[in-house]
Amino acid sequence: MAKRPITLLWIAIAWLATAGAQETQLDAFTGLKMSGDWELVRNNCIACHSPRLITQQRGSEAQWLNMIRWMQAKQNLWEFDPLTEGKIIAYLAENYPPEASRRRAAIPPDLMPPNPFAPPTIQHDE
């Protein structure tokens, strides 16, 4: 009887430990999010450069397609069959979508210090 609360405690701890692990796992080698067709990206996209170039980039489907077209035109990236290309683009746009701007809002001009590089104001004596 006295053991039951302890058993329940262990179940609760185990549940909490797995609840946090629901986020998409990252592949240990490439850092790519392991969801959907991620292996197509691993197989086709890391031969020439670090996978970091991919995971640090963000884009819509059109933007990812543009990057692929640019690499095909300028960097010897091979052609994909349309099905494979569609899956690669869908994976990239879903897992590395455009983000809201990461920059902070500009400081209002009245809160800025005087500009030391401002051109001198010319005094007109009349």
What is the CA 24 to chain-centroid distance, rounded? 13
Closest Cα partner for 95 from 60, 48, 51?
60
Check binding of 62 to ligand HEC (CB under 6 A): no
> Which of positions 1-60 make contact with ligand HEC (CB under 6 A)?
44-45, 47-49, 53-54, 57
Site string for ligand HEC, 76-115 (x = CB under 6 A): xx----------x---x-----------------------
Query: Least CB distance from residue 48 to ligand HEC, whole Å?
Result: 3
Could you tell me the CA-to-CA distances from 22 to 8, 12, 16, 40, 125 in Å, in that order? 22, 16, 11, 23, 74
Closest Cα partner for 67 from 51, 89, 87?
89
Return d(Cα 110, Cα 42) in angstroms, integer: 50
Query: Least CB distance from residue 82 to ligand HEC, whole Å?
Result: 14
Using CB under 6 A, list all residues that contact ligand HEC: 44-45, 47-49, 53-54, 57, 67-68, 71, 75-77, 88, 92
